[in-house]
Amino acid sequence: MATPADQRLLELLGKWLGSLDLHLKYSSLDDDSYSKVQPWIAHQRPSRWIVEHAKQKALALKAQVEDRVKTGDATFSDALELTIFLANLVGSEHIERFIPLAEAQTERESTPKPAAPTRMEPSAADPANATATREMPNYLAAKPRGAAPVGTPHVARTERKAATHAKARAKGPAKPAPPPAERAAPTDAVRAQVLGDAKRLMQWGRKWYELPELIARMADRPPLPEVRRILKESKLDAAKKAERD
């Protein structure tokens, strides 16, 4: 019989597999259409062979979990959850090379456009090509420099200053920056998730001022400013609950 940890892990794997299927569908879009099809967070667009490789690994892990459930192993999923938690807590770094979660309910309508031709990439099914040449990033072309001003260095500096002042006068006074948009309040589920993490970390001996950065580095957690605001608003309640438990 599946334990709660087994159910949580299988649910997470199902969500990842659904996301990877959407990424395979998006691989035929050009960069502009890809950037609009989902409300992405900042990341580097993954190549198709990376998505296919990730899907193979997710299917293999799901098969292992299901086999352990059939044999009655009640500790396998708990061990995987602890590994994921520790990797987010002490092992992960802030990087943008990952496959972001894509969900069908947040997909936006977009007319598919054929992607620009790229260099041939190694197939995910052939591990011998795993070290093959990757596609190089596109670099911005250097802008050509204008001709040097004629005359002595003093005259050149004077002319450049005069041109700068003339452009500033032509543009007029700078427009005030628009006020920042108000952030949506966190949902009850997000708040409960953050406070639950804070409770566990405090029980493990972590100080209150250490909690925001530790929680923000975990997977599927709000950004650091949002975590700080949630903890600041619920500091007394969370501290009392931790002391009672």
- Nearest CA among 77, 26, 16 for reference residue 48: 26
Q: What is the pTM of this model?
A: 0.43
Q: What does the pLDDT look like over 201-240, one tens digit per residue?
A: 888 877 878 888 888 888 778 888 888 888 888 765 555 5
Q: What does the pLDDT look like over 79-125, one tens digit per residue?
A: 888 888 877 777 555 556 678 888 888 888 765 555 555 555 554 44
Question: In angstroms, what is the C-alpha Rg of the chain?
Answer: 26
Distance of CA 218 to the CA centre of its chain: 11
Q: What angle do CA 21, 23, 26 make, to 5 degrees?
A: 115
Confidence tier at 189 by pLDDT (50, 70, 90): confident
Q: What is the pLDDT of residue 139?
A: 45
Q: What is the pLDDT of residue 130?
A: 47
Return the higher-pLDDT residue of 5 and 179. Answer: 5
Q: What does the pLDDT look like over 138-176, one tens digit per residue?
A: 544 445 555 544 555 555 566 666 667 666 666 656 566
In the predicted structure, residue 65 carries a pLDDT above the cut 60 = yes
Distance of CA 223 to the CA centre of its chain: 10
Q: At what angle do helices 48-71 and 76-86 cross, to 10 degrees?
A: 140
What is residue 103's three-state secondary structure? Answer: coil
Residue 210 near residue 231 (C-beta atoms within 8 A): no
Q: What is the pLDDT of residue 244?
A: 56
